[in-house]
Amino acid sequence: MAAASGIQYVLDKLRWMRAEHIWPNGVRYLWTDAFGVVLLVSLYRALAKDEFLGEAEWLVAEVDRVLGRPRGIRVGEARSKRTLPRNR
């Protein structure tokens, strides 16, 4: 039962972070996004829900879009030409 309550705790915290626009909608930080990918893939493996895998894939693409800019171009200096739709 401890694993099930732990998963529910994680789902509740994830729901709260989304409602408060803390993550993944906020400022991009590689370490928090990397942790988020691990979290979402772990939820996918534990619950066998494809939505978590889809969100992990969206997050990786979003991090690449925001943080994967060519060297010397900073966020705010060059607008991204593409906007990724969010899987939900």
How many Cβ atoms from other residues are within 10 Å of residue 62's Cβ? 18
Q: 59-85: per-residue pLDDT in tens? A: 999 888 888 877 666 666 655 555 556
C-alpha span between 42 and 59 (Å, rounded): 14
Q: Which position has the token pair 């409602």?
A: 19
Average pLDDT, the chain: 81
pLDDT for the residue numbered 80: 54
Confidence of residue 42 (pLDDT cuts 50, 70, 90): very high
pLDDT for the residue numbered 73: 62
Model pTM score: 0.71
Burial of 36 (0-12, 13-18, 19+ CB in 10 A): buried
